[in-house]
Chain A
Amino acid sequence: MTVETPTTGAGTGFEPRIVAFICNWCTYAAADLAGVSRLQMPPNTLNIRVMCSGRINPMLVIRAFSQGADGVLVSGCHMGDCHYITGNYYARRRLLTLKSVLTGIGIEPERFRVTWISAAEAQDYQRVITEIVENVKRLGPLTLFRDGRVVARETTGCAEG
């Protein structure tokens, strides 16, 4: 997975690339509803549908950042509403621990968000996406993982050193 960041340099032209892992049962449905309701929001997200927020291994988030994402969202069902009963409880503990680590190394908290949005809350989805994109635009591209070298092109190995 390589996320090509449509960066035209920090400043006015910067369009951040946000990777959003959203769960099939709630947030994906909310995104869908936002679409059919024609709610306006920035087109900077790459949505990845997963069956449950509990599926999100911290490595997926770390990898998204290292491959060029400027921001990451993980969003699932509200507590108590998980299709698999407790998936989001496990996700919450794991992802917020990850957030402490990422914030600790200097990745601004605005760049990694964990939210719970139900299938009916299309407007919340619109608000969260707009918020993230605006915040990350203000912060500029995430440069921590870009050391001027080309990193793995594919998940199956290094194409270039």
Chain B
Amino acid sequence: MRDYRSESARLREIVSGLLERGEVELVVAWTEGEDRPRTRETLIGKGREDLLRKVVWSPFCTTSTVTFLKKNKAALAGKRLGVVVKDCDLQALNVLLQEHFLKREDLVIIGVRCDGLAEADLFPRPEGAEVPITSDGGGVTVGKQRRAWEDSGFTTCLTCSYEDMKPDHVVGEYGRKKGKPEWGHLARLQALEPGKRREHYAALFESCIRCYACREVCPVCACVECAIDPGERAITPRTAPSVKACAPVWACRERSVSENAVYLLTRTMHMAGRCVRCGWCERACPVGLPLMEILDLSNDAVRRVYRYEVGRDPADPPFLASYAETDPDDKGAGH
């Protein structure tokens, strides 16, 4: 059985050690407050004992510290950073390191061994900060409330297979066997006639309201200038009017099957070899679109056809920026 209070204490030791010794200027870690067991990402500097006391690691550390890094990239540039990561966060971080979005030598990576995540809303709020949070092979327990992993709200964690990646510091030990990637939902869809499949995906495209929450929440969707959203185009005082006028707009903001499809298909292609299947886009979508049904089309090809492991090692070449002589060719009509 894992006791997250003692693992959090160990994490605090490591974080305060790094800050004390001056190995890093800032640390990105989860903290908890009044609304325990809920957590949030927090930036902690030297001498911030008040924040350091609240540093925590538990299955309720559901948000991605890498999304936090991505969003605050400009403010954090050039600083030596410590970052606490779960397995999926580390995988996403490796993707960003492969693409030189961040520099490995600027980072000290503290990995927590993750058995799965749980949704705080499903648990009653514990009385007091001393109520223990524990987990075992079967589920998560907060005080007297216990839920199986299967009903804890994070289905993606049941099929998560990432483990034993190599951070600089490790906290905790795995308490249960990792899952296996699952493609059953895809197989069910792919068994349909092409026409039925088109209907299914057209309905998905049609419901998207183009809020871009899926892009914002994604740890690896990190381009400064998004090809799809012209509002994000980086325009500086030196940008010539002709450039502004002629910058191609790949999909207009209109909500229609056609334009939404261009957005979602382009995003799916952009995610090829980068998506870590954390499921955050699907969770963030206000319309509740099953986005993994489309992302897994490229995920499946990357993993099954090309046998490429996403975000294994920061030194690996990115999927689309590499090739193998043995890559398959177009088989024409049959595929």
Give chain A's interface residues, CB within 8 Å of chain B: 58-59, 62-63, 66, 79, 86, 89-90, 92-110, 113-116, 131, 135, 143-147, 149, 151-152, 155-158, 161
Given known pairs A144-B198, A145-B261, the reply for A94 and B334 (CB within 8 Å) is no
B320 part of interface (Cβ distance < 8 Å): yes
Closest to A110 in B: B333
Interface of B is mostly: helix
Given known pairs A108-B194, A109-B333, the reply for A59 and B266 (CB within 8 Å) is yes
Closest to B200 in A: A106
Contacts of B227 in A (CB 8 A): 59
Which of B3-11, B29-37, B209-217, B301-309 contacts the other chain? B301-309
Q: Are B190 and A96 in contact (CB under 8 A)?
A: no
Contacts of B189 in A (CB 8 A): 104
B184 part of interface (Cβ distance < 8 Å): no
Given known pairs A66-B262, A99-B335, A147-B206, the reply for A106 and B272 (CB within 8 Å) is no
Closest to A88 in B: B323
Of B197, B246, B302, the contact of A156 (CB 8 Å cutoff): B246
Q: Are B323 and A104 in contact (CB under 8 A)?
A: no
A113 to B294 CA separation, bound complex (whole angstroms): 21
Contacts of A95 in B (CB 8 A): 330
Of B193, B252, B330, the contact of A158 (CB 8 Å cutoff): B252
Q: Are B254 and A151 in contact (CB under 8 A)?
A: yes
State the Cβ distance, B308 to closest chain A Cβ, in Å: 10
Of residues 215 through 231 on chain B, the ones whose CB sits less than 8 Å from some CB of chain A are 227
With contacts defined as CB atoms under 8 Å apart, how many contacts are there between chain A and chain B in the complex?
156
Contacts of B186 in A (CB 8 A): 104
Number of interface residues of B (CB under 8 A): 61
Task: Tell which of A66, A90, A105, A152 has the most Cβ of chain B within 10 Å.
Answer: A105
B130 part of interface (Cβ distance < 8 Å): no
A92 to B319 CA separation, bound complex (whole angstroms): 12
Q: Sorted from nearest, which 8 A-B pairs have the closest CB atoms?
A: A106-B197, A106-B198, A104-B297, A100-B301, A89-B323, A147-B257, A109-B335, A114-B330
State the Cβ distance, A82 to closest chain B Cβ, in Å: 11
Of A62, A79, A90, A152, the contact of B265 (CB 8 Å cutoff): A62
B269 part of interface (Cβ distance < 8 Å): yes
Closest to B199 in A: A106
Contacts of B245 in A (CB 8 A): 156
Of B193, B250, B332, the contact of A113 (CB 8 Å cutoff): B332
Contacts of B256 in A (CB 8 A): 147, 149, 151
Q: Are B257 and A144 in contact (CB under 8 A)?
A: yes
B65 part of interface (Cβ distance < 8 Å): no
* 19 A–B contacts, CB within 8 A, in A order: A58-B266, A59-B227, A66-B261, A86-B323, A90-B320, A92-B329, A93-B323, A96-B305, A96-B327, A97-B302, A100-B297, A100-B301, A101-B301, A106-B193, A110-B333, A151-B252, A152-B251, A156-B245, A157-B252
